[in-house]
Chains A and B, each alone.
Chain A
Amino acid sequence: MAEGFLSRSRIVAPNDWNRWLIPPAALSVHLAIGQAYAWSVFKSPLEGTLNLSGTQSALPFQLGIVMLGLSAAFGGTLVERNGPRWAMFVSLVCFSGGFLISALGVATGQYWLVVLGYGGVGGIGLGIGYISPVSTLIKWFPDRPGMATGIAIMGFGGGALIASPWSNQMLDSFGTDSSGIATTFAVHGVVYAIFMSLGVLLVRVPADGWRPKGWRPEQAKSGKLIATGHVSANTALRTPQFWLLWIVLCFNVTAGIGILEKAAPMIVDFFANTEAPLTVASAAGFVALLSLTNMLGRFVWSSTSDIVGRKNIYRLYLGGGALLYLGIVLSGDSSKVVFILAALVILSFYGAGFATIPAYLRDLFGTYQVGAIHGRLLTAWSTAGILGPLIVNAVADSQAAAGKSGPALYTVSLYIMIGLLVVGFAANEFVRPVNPKHHERFADSEAEGANR
């Protein structure tokens, strides 16, 4: 347990603390670690300077995502025990330290240091940072947990939007030789450390018994699925609800990643046989638009879930997603508007699936160890990260080998995505309130206090 400055007891907020100070604390971490999805900016310079293959230059990112899943899954209980300031500090040290180690690796020509630094050490920063503000936000916003976690997780989507042009500009300024890349990595490490320090300094946990003005706990317990007790992270793994949500998240993400990962070639291939095929520049614009709806969906749909309920919103993500995929299949290359609009909404559901899941977990398992439970559920993300691209790429390659072109290249993968979404929809339908036998044997107030 961390003592002193990082300890949970040092960050209990005074009664008049403004809770709207907490989302920026969370955003300062998520906007930073979201840089991970902009790793591709460094691939070509590294390949040219260190004589690497494309597979080798992807290793730091791949290890980083694996470490994200592992550290979120195994570090969640530590995060709950030690509190958000400790977690954000660990994330800051690991994420920024990863860049500094990578700078050393490039400067000395030791690529393994880049893999270990960015992927290994930095990846721990990603996982701990991702879950660090979740349970704190849920406790500060018991009346709007979907909106609160939506803001933070939207930040993770926004991180790459900032990093991609910023990193490119730095590489333009410092150069793409080993010295330039090392300097760029070092500047990233320092700037991200400063940026994330806001979260470390600012984050607070609410005092025992605190609640938003005018809000009563009974209001949060009016839904059929909303827990009246608290479930520990270890016990949650033994409930069907955890695994049903695992399937829901995994298949929702798989379906979205399938489009996201191949968006540019997909839209070009889809309309290749039409009178007005798309240019590469148009395809890049399409990808950018997908990123925008992916990010906005995290906030908009997750906030909506506070009103319509978590189960209903996942019905929309999964059932609506399946229908939209079907619309793409049926319209083929007859309408660009249908294709683009359907893809944009699907991607908004994809992002929203990430953002709404913490609130769904809170509804089912209570707030006691919701961050740790969330961390373990993120293994579904890691699985989907492998499944989605694998399905779309393998099917597209086999269809191309069979001599097909245009929409026919993707028809089979789109039907697979529809099938996955239907399975996810069914899993969501099976979600029921957690059996009270799984609840921890203490009063609500003790559970709340245990996390402060």
Chain B
Amino acid sequence: MNDSVRTRPRAGLLTFVWLWVGIPFGYGVYQLATQVVQLFTG
């Protein structure tokens, strides 16, 4: 592929696949954050 070929954004697919991995990841980070709070309050 050369520079003149435009990349199709595929916005729907992009959103879906990033949410697919992002939602579980966000859940994990949220659970972690609740534990981190204990460092300052425990």
List A residues at the B interface (Cβ < 8 Å): 15-21, 24-25, 27-28, 31, 155, 158, 160-166, 195, 198, 202, 206-207, 209-211, 213-214, 279-282, 284-289, 291-292, 340
Contacts and interface: CB of A to CB of B under 8 A. Distances in A.
A18 B32 contact: no
Contacts of B31: 161, 164-165
A165 B7 contact: no
Contacts of A31: 21, 24-25
Interface string B3-40: 10111111001100110110011011101110111111
A24 B18 contact: yes
A414 B2 CA distance: 52
A27 B21 contact: yes
Given A16-B1, A24-B17, A211-B3, 12 more contacts: A17-B7, A21-B10, A27-B25, A28-B20, A161-B29, A198-B21, A214-B3, A285-B36, A285-B39, A288-B38, A292-B29, A292-B33
Given A15-B5, A21-B17, A213-B7, A288 B27 contact: no
Chief secondary structure at chain A's binding surface: helix
A206 B7 CA distance: 13
A286 B39 contact: yes
Contacts of A195: 20, 24
15 contacts: A16-B5, A16-B6, A16-B7, A21-B10, A21-B13, A158-B28, A195-B20, A202-B17, A206-B1, A211-B1, A282-B42, A285-B36, A285-B40, A285-B42, A289-B39
> 5 tightest CB-CB pairs across the interface, nearest first?
A285-B39, A281-B42, A161-B28, A288-B35, A285-B38
